[in-house]
Structure formats: C-alpha cells, structure tokens
Structure 1
Amino acid sequence: MIELALAMGAFGIGAGEFAIMGLMPNVAHDLGISEPQVGHLISAYALGVVVGAPVLAVLGARLLRKHLLVLLMGFFAAGNFASAMAPGYGSLILFRFIAGLPHGAYFGVAMLAAATMAPPNQRAKAVSRVMMGLTIALLIGNPLATWLGQLIDWRHAFTAVGIIAVLTMALVARFMPLDRQEERSDPRREIRAFNRPQVWLALGIGSIGFAGMFCVFSYLAPTLLEVTDADPGWIPVALIAFGFGGIVGNLAGGWLFDRFQFRAVALILIWSTVVLLAFPLAAQSLWSMLLAAFFVGTMIALAPALQIHLMDVAMGAQTLAAASNHAAFNLSNALGPWLGGLAVSAGRRRTIRLRLGLANPKYA
C-alpha cells in the first residue's frame, strides 16, 4: 500500500507535467499565442524541476521522509491550482515554474524510500513500480486530460491534477509508517558527497539522453495534425500509444538494470537512437505514427536504470542524487521543447519563403 501511495503522487506529477503537451493547440488558441510559445510553458515547468530538485532536497534533508513527502505534494497541489486560475500567458509561465519546483524532490525521496524498503536484488523493480504511476499517467491521465481539455476547458486538467495531489497527501499520511529512528541526511555532507565524477556522468546522460523523447512528445499533437494530417480525435489515441510504450519501457528499464547493471544504460541509448531516427519516416502515415509513438514511449526505460545507478554511486548523497536525476530528466524536458520549437519555427519560415518565391528550394 505504501508503494501505491507513492505511485499516486507519481501519477499526479506525470499528469501535471505532460497534460499541456496534448493540449498544446487548445492552450495556444485560448491564450492567443503560438504553439512554440506553449512549448515555453513546458520548459518553464521543467526549469522549475531543475531548480527545485536540488534546493528542496537539501532544505528538506533533516525532515522525516513522510513529512517531507506530504509537504512537497502540498506545494505541488498549490502550483497546479494556481495554474488553473492563471489570468494570462505571463502568469501561467510563472505558475508552471512554481508547480515544477517540488517535482524532483518528491520523486527523489519517494524512490529512495521504495528502494530502502525493497530487498537488495529488487531495488530497481521497486523503483520502477513507483515510477509506474508516472507511466500510467502517460497511458491514462494524459489522454483523459487532453480529452477533458478538448471537451470543456484546458484549465480543468490542472484542477484535476491538484485534486490528485491532495489525495496523495492523504494516502501518504495514512499508510506510510513514521520511523522516528530513520537516519536523516546532513545537507553539508550531501553536498560534499555529491561532487563525484560518476554522479555527474549519470546526470549528464539523463539531461541529454531524454531530450529527443521530450522533443518528439511535446510536438506529438501538432505533428499529428500538420504532418500526419490526422483528425484531432487521434491525439488521445497517440498519447495512449505513448503511454503503453512508457509502461513497457519502465518495466524493461528496471529489469535490464537488475540484470546488466550500468551496461543497461548503453543498451537503452542505442535503442533510443534507432527509434528517433525512424520517427520522421513513420510520421507520414497514421498507423506507423501510432506505432512510432509507442516506441518513443519505451525510451523512458532510461529513468529507472539511471535512478538506481545514482543511488549506488552517490553514497552519502542519495537524497540529493535521486532528486537531481529528475532535475536532469527535466533539463531534457526544457531542452527538447525549446529545440523542437526552433526547428518548427525555422521550418515554417522556410515554407513561407518558398511559397512567396523568395528562396531557392535547394538552399532555403
């Protein structure tokens, strides 16, 4: 039941982080902005994670894990309720940044708690079970939020996420045992122990390795509409396909690391490269696009593998390292939409120039 409570928080965070990706056309139309500007909202949340993960992990190091998890979920709920009521684009960027602040610290503490309670040879599987909440959010929460936003209003998606966060607070408070003998971290020791090459290597892999996945996922809805030429009703279906891929990838990542240890990371990166190279070709047809969305989702296998590796190499700084993994994860979430937005804007400028006869098709 403890893992279920922790996974509920992961579900809420996943729904809150990814909901706006499926609602990109709706948010752009409602606020009178471009889709690349909506991509900046995604990046603002991701930057909140990057800033908040190490800062809140260090500030909360002396708190008991149960108390810290409840506080972090309360912070997350407030950020999403504020996002639902944002009066304009500027305030929404600010509230998305605030909502992202507790994200990494929650995942770091939750993963560490799950790994601590599991047998040594099943730690990666325990982490992947908590991460399952995130992948179920991709499978169910994100498509439902997209459908709700299309049917009523995109703001209701953030209200629903806030309610899930409050429910998580209640579940953690009810079912997670309070161990007053729990070893508490020393913030100064965590910072000193964190400065190891193996830690920074793993964080570097995460911050770059996920960027392609987030770039594709962030612009999945516009790609379906403008490249695949699909009906908007197919957007939730594509998100469900991505979610199924996320579940498979999450389970595979835990299994691969328990079996191959750090070598699993190389295998996952090779697979990710193949998937991303094939995606542009698959986007031309609806059915191949849905299959490609599934395969892009499997790239999330990198998350549990890196999470356990960081816990192993960051002795004395496990809380900070576990939280920083999600900072790296969301640095990719900031880079992906931003770089994707540059590519989309450049492509549209090129198309306009060609239509106006202002450029040579070979060099435009």
Structure 2
Amino acid sequence: MKNPPADGHVHRRLAPTALMLGNFVTGCSVLAPAGMLSELSSGLDVSIRDAGLLITFGAIVLCIGSPVTAWLTSRIERRTLLAATLGVLALTNVASAFAPDYATLLIFRLIMLAVGALYTPQAAGSAALIVPPEKRGGTISYIFLGWSLAAAIGLPLVTFIASRYGWRAAYGGIGLVACFSFLFLAWRLPGGLIGAPVDLKTWADVGRNRLIILLLLITTLQVSGQFAVLTYMGPLLARLTQSGPDAVGLLFATYGVFGFLGNVIATRLVDSWGSYRTSLLFMTALLTGASIWALGAGHLGVMAVAVAVWGLGFASTNSMQQVRLIGAAPTLGAASASLNTSALYIGQAIGSATGGMLFARNLFYGPGYVSVAFVALALIVVTLTKPRQAAAPLT
C-alpha cells in the first residue's frame, strides 16, 4: 500500500461512511427492479417474469464481472477506481430513465452492473487498508450497512416513486444519489491506496483454501434462497394477499429496517463473539424467517413477521461472509472478496430464475419452500466452517 497523504487521518474519519454510501448506491442499482416489477411490466409491455429477468441477467454479468474486473483493476489506485465506478452507476441509472424499450433498458443495466461489479469487493478491500486489524471486522460490517439501507430505504422508495410517478422517475432518483455518492467518496477516501495485486497465482491460492471455498458455497446457497422470494416479493404479495403498492412498500421497508438492525447488531457482536458464531446466529435467523414465510404464505400478518425475522439475517450474513473471507487469508482479500461477490450474484441468478419459473407457472407458494431448502443447506455448510481455535475472531 502506498502512503496516504499527510492529512489522511482526517479523511479516514468519514472514509468508511463514503464507502458505505457507495454500497447503498450499488445495492439500489442491483435491487431496484424488484421494487417496481409491475410498473416495468406495464410500462415496457413485457411479462412480470421478463421484467424479473433484468435481475437474473444482471446477476450473471455481475458474477462474471467481479473476479475479472478485480484482476484487471487490482493495480489501480482505489479512490480513482471506486469513484469512477460510482460515476458510471450515476450515468447508467440516469440513462435508464430515458430508455425507450425493454431491450435498451436491459443493455443499460448490463453495462451498469458490469462496471458496478467492482464496487462491493473493492470497498471491502479498501476498508482493510484504512483501519487497524483489530477494527477491520466492525468496519467491514459498517460498510455493508449500505446494502441494508438500500433495502430499508432505497427499495421502499423505489416502490413508492414507481407506483406514483413511474419507473423512469425511480431510476432518475437513483442516478442523483449516485452523483452525490461519487462526489463524497472522491472527497473523503484517502488517495494512494493500492491493495495486493491479483494475478493467476492469487486465484490458484484461493482455490486451494478449503475455508474460502466453503464460505463461497455458503454465499451462493443463502442468496439463492433469498432471491427465490425477494425478486418476486411484490407480485407474490399481490397474488397471495391482494396487497397494493403501499403494503408491498411497507414490507420492503420492514425487511430493510430489520436488515439494518441485524447488521448493526452484527457489527457490535463480531469483534467480541468472532465472525463464526455471529454468522451462525444470523444464518439461523434467515432460516427461521424463510420458514415462517413458507408456512404462513397467504396471511399478510404472518408474512410480515417472516420478512422481519428474515431481514435480521439479510445483510448481516453477507457482511460476516466478507469478514470471514478476509480473515481467512488477508493477503488474498481482494480476490476472495471479488469471488464472494460473484458467488452472491450467482445466487441471485439461481434464485431469481427459480422464482421466475415458479411464478410463471402460478406456483406462488413454491418460492418459499425453495428458499427454506437453500438456506438450510447454507446453515449446514456454516457448521462445517467452525474454526479449530475459537479464539480467532475473524476466521
């Protein structure tokens, strides 16, 4: 790592917040279609399932793009790299607001996410460069609060704006927030930050690390389970409970608020509990919420409780995965974090494709049980990663 400027300590005070806000923008960009599937469907004259494919195809691009871009850009100074990524997210979200048809919107989305694949793993790697090792776990969890806020605030706002002003206004709003995030990060993140270069030997070392491979499998399984339901949550609620946009937005907000709370709790627990026990706790919450949804589908009150419990594990499990990966092999952090992002988006593609297939066949109760199966498998794999030395806080 190059030495940051002399006033770097001043900038570092808000650098994690700048990185966190960038994750908020990234999360909104990735999740936005889920909050306005009905509006996209009617506005672009496509089916609900085709609108959902914006998430599926985007996830495929993300899962390929994350390790490739990590390899291609590992020698680029982080402030330049991350600010440029947010700049592209701003431009492509604004461009999406003016897309004349579905095909054009899909192209803009694929460009957006091919570049956006950079942000989350590189932000996590940058966190490790600006804080001492003993604060690394809490800082990475804090940066992942951006994803929690994207679900807690961004997704309900997308639903609210799209239902009243149209999907174009929702994309425009995300673009404006991305512009602000770009400026804030360029101002506050210290310059001169360069992580360990990623080369072919790095990927080989990652492939030989059993713990990293198991952690990547956990990410794929738990995200597959979540997105089997999350992608089509709005249409599922409409079909199963006849809920309107306001009720759907309220449940998205519940999901996000409890996700935010879960991540705050995880941030406070991880440095004392260790990331394994913290991960186990919140993966159990994830499974409990998925089970309540599956068994209570059709009853709005029960589904709301399910969303709240599920939300507790939503962002916290993802942030714990990043903490555990970086702790498992700090020198491989950039590569393993990018592969974790790929695993996350592989899970999105599998889950959204499975949920879309069931939705298209009017099997509206099916996604809940698919979610339970995937998350239960993830929890089993978590137990296989129990550290031999419980005192190691980050592995």
- Decide: shared fold, TM above 0.5: yes
Contact 1:44/1:97 (CA < 8 Å) preserved in 2? Answer: yes
The answer to whether structure 1 residue 114 and structure 2 residue 130 are counterparts is no
The whole-number CA distance in structure 2 between the counterparts of 1:24 and 1:193 is 41
Cα deviation, residue 307, structure 1: 0.2
Cα deviation, residue 172, structure 1: 1.6
Equivalence map 1:210-221=2 (5 Å): 210-221=223-234
The whole-number CA distance in structure 1 between the counterparts of 2:324 and 2:196 is 21
* Partner residue of 2:324 out of 309, 318, 331: 309
The whole-number CA distance in structure 2 between the counterparts of 1:79 and 1:317 is 31
Cα deviation, residue 20, structure 1: 1.3
Q: State the partner residue of 2:40.
A: 27
Cα deviation, residue 43, structure 1: 0.9
The whole-number CA distance in structure 1 between the counterparts of 2:126 and 2:68 is 19
Partner AA of 1:347 in structure 2: N
Give 3-state SS (helix, strand or coil) of 2:46's partner.
Answer: coil
* Partner residue of 1:295 out of 277, 302, 309: 309
Contact 1:42/1:333 (CA < 8 Å) preserved in 2? Answer: yes
Q: State the partner residue of 1:331.
A: 346
The answer to whether structure 1 residue 318 and structure 2 residue 351 are counterparts is no
Q: State the partner residue of 1:185.
A: 197
Identical amino acids, percent of aligned pairs: 26
* Partner residue of 1:345 out of 353, 360, 365: 360
Question: Per-residue CA shift, 1:106-130, capped at 9, x if unaligned?
Answer: 1111112223323333322111211
Cα deviation, residue 189, structure 1: 4.2
Contact 1:50/1:328 (CA < 8 Å) preserved in 2? Answer: yes
* Partner residue of 1:105 out of 118, 125, 132: 118
Question: Per-residue CA shift, 1:238-287, capped at 9, x if unaligned?
Answer: 11101112112223444454313334434433332222121033332222
The whole-number CA distance in structure 2 between the counterparts of 1:60 and 1:349 is 42
Contact 1:189/1:317 (CA < 8 Å) preserved in 2? Answer: no
Aligned positions, number: 349
Give 3-state SS (helix, strand or coil) of 2:144's partner.
Answer: helix
The whole-number CA distance in structure 2 between the counterparts of 1:128 and 1:349 is 34
RMSD: 2.1
Q: State the partner residue of 1:90.
A: 103
Contact 1:54/1:324 (CA < 8 Å) preserved in 2? Answer: yes
Cα deviation, residue 3, structure 1: 1.4
Q: Provide closer, same or farther for how the CA distance between residues 183 and 347 of structure 1 changes in structure 2, counting only shifts above 3 A.
A: closer
Contact 2:198/2:334 (CA < 8 Å) preserved in 1? Answer: no
Q: Provide closer, same or farther for how the CA distance between residues 228 and 114 of structure 1 changes in structure 2, counting only shifts above 3 A.
A: same
* Partner residue of 1:37 out of 38, 41, 50: 50
Q: Provide closer, same or farther for how the CA distance between residues 169 and 96 of structure 1 changes in structure 2, counting only shifts above 3 A.
A: same
Cα deviation, residue 72, structure 1: 1.5
Q: Provide closer, same or farther for how the CA distance between residues 189 and 153 of structure 1 changes in structure 2, counting only shifts above 3 A.
A: same
Contact 1:79/1:95 (CA < 8 Å) preserved in 2? Answer: yes
Give 3-state SS (helix, strand or coil) of 2:245's partner.
Answer: coil
Cα deviation, residue 328, structure 1: 1.2
Partner AA of 2:298 in structure 1: Q
Q: Provide closer, same or farther for how the CA distance between residues 184 and 270 of structure 1 changes in structure 2, counting only shifts above 3 A.
A: closer
Equivalence map 1:154-233=2 (5 Å): 154-179=167-192, 182-195=194-207, 196-233=209-246
Q: Provide closer, same or farther for how the CA distance between residues 52 and 78 of structure 1 changes in structure 2, counting only shifts above 3 A.
A: farther
Contact 2:58/2:110 (CA < 8 Å) preserved in 1? Answer: yes
Contact 1:108/1:322 (CA < 8 Å) preserved in 2? Answer: yes
Contact 2:66/2:118 (CA < 8 Å) preserved in 1? Answer: yes
Give 3-state SS (helix, strand or coil) of 1:277's partner.
Answer: helix
Question: Per-residue CA shift, 1:123-166, capped at 9, x if unaligned?
Answer: 22111211112211211111112111111110222222222222
* Partner residue of 2:293 out of 276, 279, 294: 279
Structure 2: runs of 5 or more not aligned: 1-13, 366-395
Partner AA of 1:126 in structure 2: T
Question: Per-residue CA shift, 1:43-87, capped at 9, x if unaligned?
Answer: 122122112111111111111111111122122223323322222
Contact 1:44/1:94 (CA < 8 Å) preserved in 2? Answer: no
Question: Per-residue CA shift, 1:299-338, capped at 9, x if unaligned?
Answer: 2221111101111223432112112212211211111111
Cα deviation, residue 186, structure 1: 4.3
The whole-number CA distance in structure 2 between the counterparts of 1:209 and 1:58 is 26
The whole-number CA distance in structure 1 between the counterparts of 2:202 and 2:97 is 36
TM-score (norm 1): 0.89
TM-score (norm 2): 0.82
Give 3-state SS (helix, strand or coil) of 1:347's partner.
Answer: coil
